[in-house]
A and B are shown apart, each in its own frame.
Chain A
Amino acid sequence: MTLLAERPGVVQEPGGPDHGHGPTGILRWLTSTDHKVIGKSYLITSIVFFLFAGVMAVLMRTQLASPDSTIVSQHTYNELFTMHGSLMLYLFAGPFAFGGLANYMVPLQVGAPDMAFPRLNALSYWLYLGGGLTMIGGFLTVGGAADFGWVAYAPLSNAVNSPGAGPDMWIVSLILTGFSAIFTGVNICATVFYLRAPGMTMFRVPIFTWNMVVTGILILIAFPVLTAAMVMLWCDRHLGTHIYTVSGGGVPVLWQNLFWFFGHPEVYILALPYFGMVTEILPVFSRKPVFGYRGMVFATITIGALSTSVWAHHMFTTGVVLLPFFSLMSYMIAVPTGIKFFNWIGTMWRGSLKFDTPMLFAVGFLVVFLFGGVTGVFLASPPIDFATHDTYFVVAHFHEVLFGSAVFAGFAGLSYWYPKMFGRMLRESLGKASFWFMFVGFWVTFLPQYLLGLHGMPRRIAEYSASTGWTTLNRVSTAGAYILFLAVAIMVVNFYVSWRRPIHASGNPWDGHTLEWATTSPPPPHNFFRLPPVRSERPLWDFNHPEHTTRAHEAEHEGGTPSRRGTRATGGGADGAR
């Protein structure tokens, strides 16, 4: 059935012609093209994958807690870290942010009734679900799941070294989820370009949405390369081509080039959405506009652009890359990231801070990510990289960055928007407990791993002998992993409690700034009964606090009086949109 979406001029009846007459039960879920339903499905599915991968992580840490441990074999350990990494990166971190929160929030933030292509959106979700289950299904095959690491380096991933159906299912899964991501990328860009509310020029779009647009473009750049690389890998495995094998005239390094041309943008595909969440949360809980809005947008675009040209910093040790080129580019990426940090601090500076759960997680992200970023700058220097490549130093570094963004910022975003999506509040006490356990557990897990790396413990080993002296640090790290597990469990309890004993959430529980808070929680079909006028990047704040509008605030800080600046701003010069 087709609905005409009206944009509410003043007031409008909820829903369209088939409101209340649609299918019910499971059929409702299978047939829905509503971005809110699809977004929630994405969210829940990705959290389930996250829990699954978390259990694998705890199993690995348990194995490593004592020397010469035999809980799992090296072969199983290989499967575990491969599937842990793949699930976390391909099926949790990306889809959680881009398929889940972005899907739900981007149309709301720009004041659109739905995504631009609702049926394509539904197709994305089904491809993602099918692909994800396929990947996990690898565990059920005779030879076990894929075991060549989440990067699947040639020649490790060829038919001789990794035979069987499990690796093939991994390949198929990445082809499917790759298409799913591409479709969502197209959808989000089209939604933001074509369905914005009146008055919402590109430079009034919330930063979260801006970051999603840039992420979408990065996805369009990176994922087709991954899919192509996967198809060629499959051809090598089954059709006897020799694209990645030396014996037939191929080049194994080609795989690394293709993979990292995807892989480094992927790192930012995983990071930018989470930067966006933090940029939404900090202003709201500081009760100030975001500091340096335009600087934020340009930093995002610069990060996105530079991330397409640093791929070979993952390949320094192969010796066949343009070393100075990539090293320089990698340093340059630290500049826009630094600008972002500066602006985040500037946003909080002299604001009236409120440390609710979302804010706590957001600040936790700042701390963790800063530390991870600094060690990342170390690694961009080839001499250090040569010394620490494939040791636990690298493991600690990328967990700092990935865990910082996907889990700290992810939980910040989740607890921030949970009231909007489910119409009920989370418990503050449980949320805060979860945060503190996570923060402590995090350092206990990963600081020892830096030291282990410096002591030379290689990554991806299932056993080490007691004579190496690594036992104590490994014990501490494993204890930290258990604390982290507890923190996540508290979060799950929090969801459960809010589900069984709901506390009703109003439309705007945090005194938010952006349009998603201008509608009910959860929003009606086609999202809005009425839209406030959009005059800055915080339309709802301006509407609710006419005495402190964003423009007046900016004028104050630039020294002019609000009224004088106000008249100039009516000309819209600051926004110069068309």
Chain B
Amino acid sequence: MVTNGKREITYGDAGVEALGEEMRRDPSIVYIGQGIGPRGGNFRQTKGLWAEFGDHRLRDTAITELGETGMAIGAAMAGNRAIVDNVFLDFSLEAMTQIVQQAANAHFLSNGELKVPLMVRGSMGSVRNAGVQHSHTFYAWFAHIPGLKVVVPATPYDVKGLMKTALRDDCPVIFIEHKALYNIKGNVPAEEYLIPFGKANICRAGTTATLVAVGRMVHVALDAARILDQEGISLEVLDPRTIAPLDREGIAASIRKTTRVAVVEEAHASCGFSGEVFSVACEDCFDSLDAPPKRICARPAPNAFSPKLENRILPDVERVVTEIRDWMNS
């Protein structure tokens, strides 16, 4: 679809396009996962690729996350570029030891001799009250580990550009989409482009405070910013796009301009990404701060099934607006 001269496609299709382009460009890419072959992916995230690349390069597996992830890592160490799709990031937990103990360390432990060109793909977050075991938001766990890069795209444009960068990196990249975003549409140029890791996107310029968010929360932050704008609160919404590497300089520059920083997260606050953003504020631009930083995260409970309870736990536009307003007035 083309609107205003711009091509609009979905977040899901942007990933399919990136995969297709990179698999054509790099014949060493092998894609391993459950339901990613003829089925085209649980989230349609490999739609149409099997028809082009076949069983040889798209490897449907049994339910075996530890096995499929270990195989992808081994294939990457041995000379292929491998993608393992755990589909739900929740299921990557089954494979955590392979990712953290093996993939992240092999380059370091081989004194730089081994490369691990690997993309671990999974989708995070809550969608349609799926219940706690299908709704986790784990990106900070991976970002804690030296040797892993962590990508958390918020828009179709970012999915394509960041995935193409991931598929040219020699380091294990954890590529985390948000389940609730697969069907959103946005501008994605047909021409090739890559988005570098570690470069934040200022989604909306503002002057009163910086609001940092990733994934679905970027959209919540933007909605809240539009509402608060009418009250004279001008929020700068900053999406770091990758949380490892993290664009500390970009975040600090925004804070120096606005003098305040808040973080909105679907993940929990404890030992998490919001604390990392606070470390930028405290270590890199403390003198610019006019107020203590603020975080608005999932309340500390497993993600409950009942909409009444889940809505209480997860941040939404209303909660962001109220808490930011109170914070500005404090």
A pairs with B: no
Residues on A facing B (Cβ under 8 Å): none
Residues on B facing A (Cβ under 8 Å): none
